[in-house]
Amino acid sequence: MSDTTDLINKAVAEVMTPDFVKTQVATRVQKLVTEAVDDALRSYSDIGKQIKEAVTASLQVNDLNLPSYGLLVTGMIEKQVKDHAGALIDARLANDIRELLNIAPAEIKLSEIARDMIKDRYDDDGYGEVITVIVEHNDYGSIWLYLDEEEHHSRRDKYQCRHSLLLNKDGTISSARLDKRDIKDTQHIGRSYGLPDRIRAYYAAGTRIILDEDAVVTSVGDY
């Protein structure tokens, strides 16, 4: 049994060279960091710095408690996490920013927003008013904008609309409620397609909404 133990110890010692440990740790850490970053960036990433700090903190290694190569491995892991996670996050944030710019122009007309809201309703065999676009100016120079891409509401029923936006004097969004929830309390996952997603992008990018109210169409059919 002693001879067997000696053989095992010798074999382990021969395998556990610094180069071997470095290669194995680098491979596994890269995989773990990639998975961690993918998980951390599944939400709409306007929180790049927070995500980077969270990933780094969650993967920080203080004490591996290894009998040998402890300092070597710890240093390698910290460097791998910092370099690899940082590169992955930067790339993912760059993609998110490109997507944001694609759907959030510097300015957009209200009639264009309404056209996007109504374009899917032409195949519904609908007739008459099918969406809601209500503009309400107040005495302070700001504007309330009430939108509903699924139903038409009269002005007196404006509070039943799914979305409401408070616009600054320059047309940027000061605050908003999407599906009757504060925009700051909602999170987006995945690509942006629907009206709430586009409004989130307009809000984040500071898009100006131009109120060409006379050009807004809210009906379909011969109406």
pLDDT of residue 190: 43
pLDDT of residue 223: 46
pLDDT of residue 86: 66
Closest CA to 207 of 161, 176, 180: 176
Q: Which domain holds residue 138?
A: 107-220
Q: DSSP for 119-139?
A: GGGGGGT--EE-SEEEEEE-T
Q: Do residue 141 and residue 207 come from a single domain?
A: yes
Distance CA 196, CA 180 (A): 11
User: Last residue of some domain: 103, 126, 151?
Assistant: 103
pLDDT of residue 189: 44
Q: Among the residues of 16-144, which ranges form H helices?
A: 18-40, 48-58, 70-80, 86-103, 110-118
pLDDT of residue 192: 44
Extract the residue ranges of the chain whose pLDDT is less than 50.
Answer: 44-47, 64, 66, 188-192, 223
- b (16+ CB within 10 A) / e for 133-165: bbeeeeeeeebebbbbbeebbeeeebeebbbbb
Q: Do residue 94 and residue 125 come from a single domain?
A: no
- 162 touches 180 (CB < 8 A): yes
Distance CA 148, CA 165 (A): 11
Q: Do residue 126 and residue 85 come from a single domain?
A: no
Number of domains observed in the structure of the chain: 2
Question: For the segment 193-209, what is each residue's pLDDT rounded down to a tens digit?
Answer: 589 988 988 988 889 99
Q: Do residue 82 and residue 30 come from a single domain?
A: yes
Backbone angles phi, psi at 136, to 5 degrees: -130, 115
- 195 touches 149 (CB < 8 A): yes
Q: Do residue 37 and residue 113 come from a single domain?
A: no
- Find the length of the chain: 223
